[in-house]
């Protein structure tokens, strides 16, 4: 029976193997058979989610791993894993599927812990999105060293990942030295990729370049390496270097081919370059250059079969919008297969950036008709469009959606709503929102004062300034400009000094 179970596991028929096991409840299995079952379980793809404990979780893998663990507990009066790799493998399997409590329970019972069980626990903590868990990963490594267990490449990858999350460059450099001393850097692309990411996220771009260009030989660089280096440049705002790197990869004709992540990162770099070019004196020529680069990237995406990928398409919309090509942005948006909040936001932003407020509001109507979900970023762009168009009807609709979505307590949205109502000449609505504002800051005050001035209600604007002076909020330069403007309109310029 054991031979059949092992054969089924090796052939990928884990469910059939467990079905046979369930019909032989009293059967005692060898460690070798349990290892086959756990290895088969570990081949199940994990769908990562960030749960309450922050660890990667896969419901199917977790359920099957616990069934195997339960069988071990039920058929061994006192499960002992000393001297057997089964204990290490159970720790790895349980930690990998997010069952940290069970994994730590077995881990603590082992009289001798190997690098595999230590690394499994450290990796589980470093896979978390919380800083507390990643800090635990570093503390577990200290305990591992005290236990006289030497780390391997996978241990260092987990440690570099924890340092990335914590932005802990000092510890990351220490681990780099240790990995180098053990000869785990130069011939290990997995370790090098983690190092590039860690140095990139910690802002040590020169160190990231040293790993990519010096520690790694060209044949070692896979798509993860190129993407990690590209991401490091983008994170450090070195977008021209990022695009040069992408072109270098294309010209090198290496085995690595761009994937959706790398293409999207290159599109982000192109968008950022277009944004930067708008602040230069040669903005027109640079803008055209960015658009040409963006279209070339779009062509690459099409050649590689990613032009219909929603993630790539959304970045294409943002890139074209920043490059000033609304028609290109619209053409991509219209063929989007999946329109999530990110896609809607990209198109809304495109219209607002290019002063196409009427199209942004038409898109808002479409969002409402399709009953797509609205988030705070989308609502900010919609309010901007309402302000630009001075469309009170659309502003009222947006206000309704803000309240329904529970965003009326958001200080930024509340301030923007005050500003929008002011631009729409609805001071009564602006006053109502201002009075309900959870935390009115100086921007909200300035917006409200400005609305009264634009309406011609100078006395009210001056009274508002007096109200502001009675709060703990300090007026800024904009406030004083508004007061001078109000006094000038009222013919009281000589008295403005009283308010300054």
Percent of the chain with pLDDT over 70: 91
Predicted pLDDT of residue 99: 85
pLDDT tens readout for residues 435-454: 888 788 888 888 888 888 87
Residue 93: C-alpha distances to residues 26, 101, 133, 433 (Å): 24, 12, 19, 54
CA–CA gap between residue 225 and residue 455 (Å, rounded) = 58
Predicted pLDDT of residue 187: 83
Residue of 126, 59, 57 lying closest to 98 (CA atoms): 57
The separation between CA 27 and the C-alpha centre of its own chain, rounded to angstroms, equals: 48
Predicted pLDDT of residue 67: 83
Tokens 């040069």 -> residue: 244
Predicted pLDDT of residue 468: 86
Q: What is the mean pLDDT of each run of 10 residues along the chain (500 residues)?
A: 80 79 70 84 62 52 81 69 78 87 88 91 92 95 95 97 97 97 91 97 96 90 93 95 92 78 94 81 70 94 89 91 91 87 89 92 95 94 95 96 93 90 88 86 86 82 85 86 82 65
DSSP state of 456: T
Question: How many CB atoms neighbour CB 13 within 10 A?
Answer: 15
- Full DSSP string of 47-69: -----TT-----HHHHHHHHHHH
Residue 188: C-alpha distances to residues 123, 193, 282 (Å): 18, 9, 44
CA–CA gap between residue 274 and residue 356 (Å, rounded) = 19
Asked if residue 296 lies in contact with residue 327, where contact means CB atoms within 8 angstroms, the answer is no
CB proximity list for 20: less than 8 A, separation 6 or greater: 1, 4, 5, 8
CB proximity list for 136: less than 8 A, separation 6 or greater: 125
Token pair belonging to 303? 């050649």
CA–CA gap between residue 168 and residue 182 (Å, rounded) = 21
- What's this model's pTM, rounded to 2 decimal places? 0.78
- HSE, side-chain direction, 13 A CA sphere, residue 304: 19
CB proximity list for 162: less than 8 A, separation 6 or greater: 122, 125, 126, 134, 135, 137, 138, 168
| Secondary structure class of 216 (helix, strand, coil) | coil
CB proximity list for 62: less than 8 A, separation 6 or greater: 97, 98, 99
pLDDT tens readout for residues 200-228: 999 999 999 999 999 998 888 899 999 99
CA–CA gap between residue 420 and residue 352 (Å, rounded) = 14
CA–CA gap between residue 201 and residue 164 (Å, rounded) = 6
CA–CA gap between residue 278 and residue 272 (Å, rounded) = 10
Asked if residue 96 lies in contact with residue 130, where contact means CB atoms within 8 angstroms, the answer is no
CA–CA gap between residue 130 and residue 156 (Å, rounded) = 19
Question: What are phi and psi for residue 111, nearest 5 degrees?
Answer: -75, -30
Question: How many CB atoms neighbour CB 248 within 10 A?
Answer: 11
Asked if residue 458 lies in contact with residue 486, where contact means CB atoms within 8 angstroms, the answer is yes
Question: How many CB atoms neighbour CB 25 within 10 A?
Answer: 9
Predicted pLDDT of residue 56: 44
Q: Is 159 left (phi over 0), alpha (psi -120 to 50) or beta?
A: alpha
Predicted pLDDT of residue 341: 87
Tokens 């790799």 -> residue: 85
């Amino acid at each position: 029976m054991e031979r059949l179970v092992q054969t089924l596991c090796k052939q990928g028929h884990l469910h059939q193997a467990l079905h046979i096991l369930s019909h032989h409840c009293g059967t005692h299995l060898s460690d070798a058979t349990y290892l086959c079952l756990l290895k088969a379980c570990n081949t199940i793809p994990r769908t990562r989610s960030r749960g309450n404990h922050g660890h990667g979780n896969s419901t199917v893998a977790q359920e099957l791993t616990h069934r195997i663990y339960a069988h071990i507990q039920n058929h061994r009066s006192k499960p002992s894993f000393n001297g057997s790799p089964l204990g290490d493998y159970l720790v790895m399997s349980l930690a990998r599927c997010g069952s940290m409590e069970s994994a730590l329970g077995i881990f603590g019972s082992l009289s001798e812990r190997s690098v595999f069980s230590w690394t499994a626990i450290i990796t589980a903590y470093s896979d978390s999105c919380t800083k507390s868990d990643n800090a635990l990963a570093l503390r577990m490594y200290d305990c591992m060293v005290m236990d006289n267990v030497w780390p391997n490449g996978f241990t260092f990858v987990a440690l570099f990942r924890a340092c990335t999350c914590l932005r802990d460059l000092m510890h990351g450099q220490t681990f780099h030295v240790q990995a180098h001393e053990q000869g785990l850097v130069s011939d290990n692309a997995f370790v090098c990729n983690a190092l590039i990411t860690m140095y990139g996220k910690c802002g040590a771009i020169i160190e990231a370049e040293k790993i990519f260009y010096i520690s790694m030989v060209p044949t070692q660089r896979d798509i993860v390496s190129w993407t990690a280096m590209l991401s490091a440049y983008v994170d450090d705002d070195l977008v021209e270097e990022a695009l040069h790197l992408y072109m270098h990869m294309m010209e090198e004709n290496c085995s690595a081919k761009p994937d959706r992540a790398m293409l999207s990162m290159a599109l982000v770099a192109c968008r950022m370059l277009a944004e930067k070019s708008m602040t230069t004196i040669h903005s027109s020529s640079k803008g055209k250059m960015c658009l040409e680069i963006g279209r070339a990237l779009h062509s690459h995406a099409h050649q590689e079969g990613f032009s219909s990928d929603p993630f790539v398409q959304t970045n294409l919309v943002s890139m074209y919008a920043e490059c000033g090509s609304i028609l290109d942005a619209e053409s991509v948006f219209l063929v989007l297969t999946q329109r999530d909040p990110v896609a809607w936001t990209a198109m809304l932003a495109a219209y607002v950036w290019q002063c196409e407020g009427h199209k942004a509001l038409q898109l808002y109507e479409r969002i409402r008709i399709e009953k797509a979900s609205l988030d705070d970023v989308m609502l900010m762009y919609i309010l901007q469009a309402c302000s630009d168009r001075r469309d009170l009807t659309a502003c009222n609709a947006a206000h309704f959606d803000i309240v329904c979505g529970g965003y009326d307590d958001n200080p930024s949205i509340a301030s923007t709503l005050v500003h929008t109502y002011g631009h729409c000449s609805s001071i009564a609505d602006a006053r109502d929102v201002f009075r309900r504002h959870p935390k009115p800051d100086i921007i909200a005050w300035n917006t409200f004062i400005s609305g009264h001035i634009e309406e011609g209600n100078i006395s009210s604007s001056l009274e508002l300034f007096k109200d502001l002076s009675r709060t703990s909020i300090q007026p800024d330069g904009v406030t004083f400009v508004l007061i001078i403007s109000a006094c000038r309109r009222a013919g009281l310029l000589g008295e403005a000094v009283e308010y300054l």
